Chains A and B, each alone.
Chain A
Amino acid sequence: DAMVIQNPRYQVTQFGKPVTLSCSQTLNHNVMYWYQQKSSQAPKLLFHYYDKDFNNEADTPDNFQSRRPNTSFCFLDIRSPGLGDAAMYLCATSDRGYEQYFGPGTRLTVT
């Protein structure tokens, strides 16, 4: 089945140690999104790619970066994770349409 895949599902990192989360899709969608979702909160959009064009939300910290080497893959890099970055990170895709398709998420723990 076509889908959005996130790896790993659970990630533990140390305070200040760079970490990369991965998202891949078999939907061949143009747009890929990264969301941060803290406990008991709604998802918050960090940034998105439209094809190779990167678009940052105004309030996304510089500590968060992203790469999209090809249509299928997108990575979220956290350069120096702090305790406040512990959250569920959700990847989503859309095909310039109205619906976004979400992956299962990666739960990040910072120790």
Chain B
Amino acid sequence: AQSVTQLDSQVPVFEEAPVELRCNYSSSVSVYLFWYVQYPNQGLQLLLKYLSGSTLVKGINGFEAEFNKSQTSFHLRKPSVHISDTAEYFCALLDLRSGGYNKLIFGAGTRLAVHP
């Protein structure tokens, strides 16, 4: 069965410091991975995605992630965080289904708290 594990439930960091949010996955088929961000009382916004090709994926708001097949990881990084990056971050794996729809398998989420 496919699964996603986010290794940290909370990550506190000071403003302008670098941050890494860790995500590991388990899948026996082709892997499609996503990072979403959720601000309080908002929906999910796509930060970046890995479908194929370059293992280093750049997203919005200065975030990037690296797909590592041997370590089954897809960690999210940002070299310098801002207060406005405080939010919940979800790593997700796409479960391809027959019939034309795809199911997202989410990790439990990581709460990033950026302090001044």
By the criterion CB–CB under 8 Å, are B42 and A43 in contact? no
Contacts of A100 in B (CB 8 A): 102, 104
Complex Cα gap A45–B41 (Å): 18
Set B34, B90, B100, B107: member contacting A50, Cβ < 8 A: B100
How many of chain B's residues have a CB under 8 angstroms from any CB in A? 23
By the criterion CB–CB under 8 Å, are A102 and B99 in contact? no
Contacts of A105 in B (CB 8 A): 41-43
Complex Cα gap A14–B44 (Å): 27
By the criterion CB–CB under 8 Å, are A107 and B109 in contact? no
A42-B90, A99-B49 are known contacts. Are A90 and B101 too (CB-CB below 8 A)?
A: no
B88-105 CB contacts (< 8 Å) to partner A:
90, 94, 99-104
By the criterion CB–CB under 8 Å, are A102 and B102 in contact? no
Chain A interface bracket (under 10, 10 to 19, 20 to 34, 35 or more)? 20 to 34
By the criterion CB–CB under 8 Å, are B32 and A98 in contact? yes
Q: Mark A25-36, 1 if CB is under 8 A from B, else 0.
A: 000001100000
Set B42, B99, B103: member contacting A45, Cβ < 8 A: B103
CB proximity of A106 to chain B, nearest CB, Å: 10
By the criterion CB–CB under 8 Å, are A43 and B44 in contact? yes
By the criterion CB–CB under 8 Å, are B104 and A45 in contact? yes
B46 within 8 A of A: yes
A68 within 8 A of B: no
- For A57, the closest partner residue in chain B by CB is B103
CB proximity of A58 to chain B, nearest CB, Å: 12
Contacts of A107 in B (CB 8 A): 41
Residues of B whose CB lies within 8 Å of any CB of A are 32, 34, 36, 41-46, 49, 51, 90, 94, 99-104, 106-109
Residues of A whose CB lies within 8 Å of any CB of B are 4, 6, 9, 30-31, 40-43, 45, 48, 50, 53, 55, 88, 90, 92, 94, 96-105, 107
